[in-house]
Amino acid sequence: MAADLGGGSTEADGGPVRHIPVLLPEVLEALAPAPGQVILDGTFGAGGYTSAILARGASVIALDRDPTAIAAGRALAEASGGRLTLVHSRFSDLAAHAPAGGLDGVVLDIGVSSMQIDEPERGFSFQKDGPLDMRMSASGVSAADVVNRAKVSDLIRIFGFLGEEKQAGRIARAIEKARAKEPFATTRQLANLIESVNPRKAKDKIHPATRVFQALRIFVNDELGELAQALFAAEKALKPGGRLVVVSFHSLEDRIVKKFFQDRSGKAAGSRHLPEVHDRAATFAPVGSPMVGASEAECAVNPRARSAKLRAGMRTDAPAGTDDLSIFNLPSLAGLEKMGS
């Protein structure tokens, strides 16, 4: 997967970078795949993690909500000797694809893939003009639907929270004025409008439209909700001793993963002076450091790794907890799902 940049696969120049598995040695160390094990890769993408896991002798069930990723992985599945099963599915449904005895490991690499960014027709990037789409599964509400139909107040919430865009209000009002004359249809059209409202400064490392594109992509694909549900699903699907490894690229995603492991280890997110402790048994024990980032050497070769954060836990034999979304403090962005109908 790639960093959360609407403009491209790198932070500084937006130039395309073909898929390089981020934190691969660290992922393998935390996941510890071995012959005879069954690992679920919930974000197959270009198959970087899956290929490395197969090389360690484990079998892999690989999911992806993008049908093009599944189609592209057929050759790898055929060469795996029956050890790779590809499934077109959201990773929030991963428990439905786990074997009866449970999984030995689950790995999730959160975000949009390099292949999606590099394909203008998918509408994830504004480096090359394309339809304003951004749907990973190629179905449902598109980014164009959101931009053209959402109320200004909703656009402000989406851009402000999901994109952490400080100019959310100005951009949303400019969109409302512009779409009254002509609906937004392409990525470049939206990017140009944003840049006219919030011109790029010489010191800026990213394009002014980057955060808005990120917010739209996260909203269109319900990425935060999907991640939260995937963590609950992994907890149910893993056998005792099984490992959950998550690589995220954005502070909002990492915050969800961190809160999940805090909650499931018996430590809630209280203050550091007075942490809140649950009385229920922990369902996950820590694996390695609480958080692992990419080395300077990896970042030099693969710039998108700069924002990557890895967190991991080992499943205990305690019963799975409840699917309580309140532990994540996610914002309420309901009411926009039927926008494209």
Domain co-membership, 324 together with 227: yes
Query: pLDDT band at 211, cuts 50/70/90?
Result: very high
pLDDT over threshold 80, residue 195: yes
Q: Domain for residue 4, yes or no?
A: no
Here the CATH number for the domain that contains residue 319 is 3.40.50.150
pLDDT at 11: 32
First to last CA, the chain: 30
Is 229 labelled as part of a ligand binding site?
Answer: no
Query: pLDDT band at 275, cuts 50/70/90?
Result: low
Using alpha carbons, select from 171, 176, 186, 84 the residue that is nearest to residue 126. 186
Q: What percent of the chain stands above pLDDT 90?
A: 70
- Which residues constitute the domain of residue 44? 24-114+223-328
Domain co-membership, 109 together with 227: yes
Is 116 labelled as part of a ligand binding site?
Answer: yes
Measured CA to CA, the distance from residue 9 to residue 19 in angstroms comes to 9
Q: Which residues of 135-160 are buried (b: 16+ CB within 10 A; e: fewer)?
A: bbeeeebbbbbbbbbbeeebbbbbbb
pLDDT at 122: 47
**Cα of 206 vs its chain's centroid, Å:** 20
Q: Are 22 and 15 in contact (CB under 8 A)?
A: no
Residue 312, strand partner residues:
245
C-alpha angle 193-333-142 in degrees, rounded to nearest 5: 50
Measured CA to CA, the distance from residue 5 to residue 116 in angstroms comes to 12
pLDDT over threshold 70, residue 43: yes
Domain co-membership, 101 together with 161: no
The residue out of 219, 242, 270 marking a domain boundary is: 219
Q: Domain for residue 5, yes or no?
A: no
pLDDT at 129: 80
Domain co-membership, 109 together with 228: yes
pLDDT over threshold 50, residue 284: yes
**Higher model confidence: residue 185 or residue 338?**
185
Domain co-membership, 227 together with 108: yes
pLDDT at 5: 36
The residue out of 186, 219, 252 marking a domain boundary is: 219
Tally of domains within the chain: 2
Domain co-membership, 164 together with 107: no
Only one residue has tokens 């053209």, namely 148
**Higher model confidence: residue 55 or residue 8?**
55
Domain co-membership, 215 together with 301: no
pLDDT at 340: 43
Domain co-membership, 43 together with 106: yes
Q: Are 326 and 333 in contact (CB under 8 A)?
A: no
Q: Are 105 and 37 in contact (CB under 8 A)?
A: yes
Please give the average per-residue pLDDT across 209-214, as a whole number.
92
Is 47 labelled as part of a ligand binding site?
Answer: yes
Q: Domain for residue 124, yes or no?
A: no
Q: Average pLDDT over the chain, rounded to whole?
A: 86
Domain co-membership, 237 together with 108: yes
Domain co-membership, 228 together with 322: yes
pLDDT over threshold 70, residue 196: yes
The residue out of 219, 241, 273 marking a domain boundary is: 219
DSSP E strand boundaries for the chain? 38-41, 59-64, 84-88, 103-109, 238-248, 284-286, 292-293, 309-315
Helix axes 210-220, 223-237, angle to 10 degrees: 50
pLDDT tens for 213-227 read 999 999 999 999 999
pLDDT at 178: 98
Is 242 labelled as part of a ligand binding site?
Answer: no
pLDDT over threshold 60, residue 18: no
Q: Domain for residue 284, yes or no?
A: yes
Measured CA to CA, the distance from residue 65 to residue 41 in angstroms comes to 12
pLDDT over threshold 70, residue 334: no
**Higher model confidence: residue 78 or residue 5?**
78
296 C-beta neighbours (distance < 10 Å), count: 9
Please give the average per-residue pLDDT across 323-340, as a whole number.
71
Q: Domain for residue 59, yes or no?
A: yes
Here the CATH number for the domain that contains residue 147 is 1.10.150.170
Q: What is the DSSP letter of 160?
A: I
Q: What are phi and psi of 76, to 5 degrees?
A: -65, -40
pLDDT at 205: 75
Q: Domain for residue 234, yes or no?
A: yes
Task: Give the pairing type, strands 238-248 and 309-315.
Answer: antiparallel
Q: Domain for residue 185, yes or no?
A: yes
Measured CA to CA, the distance from residue 155 to residue 69 in angstroms comes to 30
pLDDT tens for 151-174 read 999 999 999 999 999 999 999 999
Weakest-pLDDT range from 99-108, 128-137, 160-169: 128-137
Q: Which residues of 275-284 are buried (b: 16+ CB within 10 A; e: fewer)?
A: eeeeeeebbb
**Higher model confidence: residue 19 or residue 290?**
290
Is 184 labelled as part of a ligand binding site?
Answer: no
Domain co-membership, 210 together with 241: no
Q: Domain for residue 10, yes or no?
A: no
Region class of 23: left (phi > 0), else alpha (psi between -120 and 50), else beta: left
pLDDT over threshold 90, residue 12: no
Region class of 102: left (phi > 0), else alpha (psi between -120 and 50), else beta: left
> Model-level pTM?
0.86
Is 109 labelled as part of a ligand binding site?
Answer: yes
Distances (CA, A) of 21 to 46, 69, 129, 294: 9, 15, 27, 11
Task: Give the pairing type, strands 284-286 and 309-315.
Answer: antiparallel
Is 93 labelled as part of a ligand binding site?
Answer: no
Domain co-membership, 312 together with 240: yes
